[in-house]
């Protein structure tokens, strides 16, 4: 008998359920949490594995309805079947973040995740950090279909990004490439 599943805020409704296959996935997936917080979207994070804790994963998926979950984000590395397993058990949109768990640099997880056979969609984003951010933004875009306030926040977010690039380009034109790079410091 597996231990009973614990949730962070079992009485509260949550819009987005984030499931990671291992706690080793959490450092990258904090980006997803930060982005959802920025948009004020209710979310929670569970470490549940398709192969290490299959029964607890099923129990959690079964709770989506009563918890008000509308979008699921699943992140896993290596032979990443977590998102596909979740998608097989719910008709909620499942967004998958393939992660680099060592070995093949995340290509293993990307291919395992993205190559779902027809019938059970898994919406797969980029490997790693970019994917972790985009998974949150994609979840917000889905939720924004029925929430005008969220749609306005998304539009404002895009404007901020554009303004940021414009500011950088203005500085580049003023300083020249060498000085700009020197001031900016080490590359990402």
Cα separation, 183 vs 44, whole angstroms: 39
Strand 71-77 relative to strand 94-99: parallel, antiparallel, unpaired?
Answer: parallel
Assess 78 for contact with ligand RP5 (CB under 6 A): yes
Assess 25 for contact with ligand RP5 (CB under 6 A): yes
Assess 73 for contact with ligand RP5 (CB under 6 A): no
Assess 139 for contact with ligand RP5 (CB under 6 A): no
Q: Which is nearer to ligand RP5, 32 or 144 (CB)?
A: 32
Task: Give the contact letters, 89-108, x = binds to ligand RP5 (CB under 6 A), - = no.
Answer: ----------x-x-------
In this structure, what DSSP letter does residue 5 have? P
* The only residue of 17, 21, 112, 140 in contact with ligand RP5, by rule CB under 6 A: 21
Nearest to 28 by CA among 141, 140, 138, 130: 130
**Which residue stretch of 17-25, 26-34, 56-64, 125-133 sits at the interface with ligand RP5 (rule: CB under 6 A)?**
17-25
94 by DSSP, 3-state: which? Answer: strand
In this structure, what DSSP letter does residue 88 have? H
Nearest to 80 by CA among 20, 32, 5: 20
- In the complex, minimum distance from the CB of residue 152 to ligand RP5, in angstroms, rounded to a whole number: 35
Cα separation, 1 vs 12, whole angstroms: 26
**Which residue stretch of 2-10, 60-68, 71-79, 156-164 sits at the interface with ligand RP5 (rule: CB under 6 A)?**
71-79
- In the complex, minimum distance from the CB of residue 14 to ligand RP5, in angstroms, rounded to a whole number: 21
Cα separation, 37 vs 43, whole angstroms: 8
Q: Which residues bind ligand RP5 (CB under 6 A)?
A: 21-22, 24-25, 49, 76-78, 99, 101
């Amino acid at each position: 008998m597996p231990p009973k599943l614990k949730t962070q805020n079992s009485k509260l409704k949550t819009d987005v359920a984030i499931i990671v296959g291992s706690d080793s996935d959490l450092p990258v997936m904090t980006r997803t949490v930060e982005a959802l917080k920025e948009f004020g979207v209710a979310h929670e994070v569970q470490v549940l594995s398709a192969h290490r804790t299959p029964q607890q994963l099923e129990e959690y998926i079964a709770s989506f309805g009563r918890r008000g979950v509308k979008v699921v984000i699943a992140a896993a590395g290596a032979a990443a079947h977590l998102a596909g397993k979740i998608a097989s058990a719910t008709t909620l949109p499942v967004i998958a973040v393939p992660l680099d768990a060592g070995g093949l640099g995340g290509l293993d997880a990307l291919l395992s995740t993205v190559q779902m056979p027809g019938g059970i969609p898994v919406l797969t984003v980029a490997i790693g950090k970019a994917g972790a951010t985009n998974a949150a933004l994609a979840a917000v875009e889905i939720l924004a279909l029925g929430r005008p306030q969220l749609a306005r926040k998304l539009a404002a977010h895009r404007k901020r990004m554009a303004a940021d690039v414009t500011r950088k380009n203005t500085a580049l034109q003023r300083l020249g490439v060498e000085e700009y790079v020197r001031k900016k410091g080490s590359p990402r």
